[in-house]
Structure 1
Amino acid sequence: MKLIVVRHGQTDWNKQDLCQGHANIPLNEAGLKQAEQVAQRLKSEKIDLAFTSDLERAVVTADLILAHHPATPVEYHQQLRERNYGVYERKTYSEFRQGIVDSGELPHLFRPESGESLLDVQKRALDFYGSLLPRCLSETVLVVAHGGVVQSLLLGIDHQPFAEETRKRYSHANTGYSILNVNSVLS
């Protein structure tokens, strides 16, 4: 399977460095331009199937990409939603990082009240991937999701740890994308 994984375009909350998680925040003007640019870069790719988070910022990004691929079917999945930041939703990332420090947990194990840890997100993303791979092995698949999901998915596919330096290597800016050729299920 050829897997194209794209992070959604910028939102005002991205620009303000706020945890948006499951909040349904739309793309801002810069995010729409970013999505149009990634759509241009990917227009020559053959895309057989598309999967996107059901949150508006990912849906609009996917729609702009798929405007160049009008026959491509698209499915919307809650499994591809961003990390649930729980009580930190709408708070700054610096407040969130301080919450991690205060908890004494490793960053990938920290589960805020009413939220998810990065390991929870990775399990959700890899469960989605595991269900996708057997049915799409000979296809080119587009996945449009969120920063935490993209990072967790790619770390899992590549069997990499959640170490800080590794996480940075797998981080994607808004509308950053990766193209992978994968041919086996996770072990």
Structure 2
Amino acid sequence: MTEICLVRHGQTDWNLNERIQGREDIPLNATGRRQAELSAAYLSNEEWDVLLASPLSRAVETAEIIGRAVGLTITATDERLVEREFGAASGEPVAAIYEAVQANDTTLVPGLETEQAIQDRVFEALQEVTRMYEGKRILIVCHSHTIKAALSSIDETFSYRTPLKNACANYIQHTDHYTIDRINVADHITDEVEKP
């Protein structure tokens, strides 16, 4: 069995201010670094073989923090793991365009990557990683919509409306097919850390 844990990056100032980041390369803030440290401590209770990440700095920094705790360096970054392209919505307040993005409507949000497009690229990456590291335990540090795309590819009833906390862990397994084990594991992220 191959086990994969998809970890969302820690908080950035744009997360805090509820602005859509998409592929903008926004770094972790102090809270995000602390969240990454808490996830690292949680994940260090398990054995891991491989550490992969999105190339965006918030994912790389989160992965580096986790890597130190679990004794791994980043094996590779993969462009297919970057956040969803939000087009004209990048930098905008989440509340202003939330419904249009959730409706997957590219006419309301020019340049928006469709759910199908992100699912295709993320699932392709997931399949490749599973083949390359068959039987291993793999950590992948990436983004909210990247994780949602992976989960939706495995279970079509999974909703993009499901909120994922910063630095949460999401576990999937593969034998002859993929199954979702646990999602949004974030009990190790204390409420005090999430406050500005």
> Is the TM-score greater than 0.5?
yes
* CA gap 1:94/1:81 in 2 versus in 1, 3 angstroms: same
Does residue 110 of structure 1 match 2:95?
no
Tell which deviates more after alignment, 172-181 or 26-35: 172-181
The RMSD of aligned alpha carbons is 1.9
Deviations 1:59-112 (A, max 9, x none): 0000000002334552111111111111111001122225x18xxxx72x3233
Q: Secondary structure at the match of 1:37?
A: helix
Count of residue pairs the alignment pairs up: 175
* Unmatched segments (≥5 aa) in structure 1: none
Determine if contact 2:43/2:70 at 8 Å carries over to the other structure. no
Letter in 2 for 1:23: E
Aligned equivalents of 2:128, 2:3: Cα separation in 1: 15
Aligned to 1:127: 124
Query: Superposition pairs for residues 92-107 of structure 1, below 5 Å?
Result: 92-97=93-98, 100=100, 107=103
Determine if contact 2:51/2:72 at 8 Å carries over to the other structure. no
Identity across matched positions, percent: 27
Does residue 161 of structure 1 match 2:153?
no
Aligned equivalents of 2:176, 2:53: Cα separation in 1: 22
* CA gap 1:96/1:61 in 2 versus in 1, 3 angstroms: same
* Unmatched segments (≥5 aa) in structure 2: 179-196
Letter in 2 for 1:13: W
Letter in 2 for 1:181: Q
Aligned equivalents of 1:72, 1:30: Cα separation in 2: 22
4+ residue runs over 6 A deviation: none
Structure 1 residue 168 displacement after superposition: 4.1
Deviations 1:19-61 (A, max 9, x none): 1000000001110000000000001221111110000000000
Q: Secondary structure at the match of 2:4?
A: strand
Aligned equivalents of 1:72, 1:35: Cα separation in 2: 15
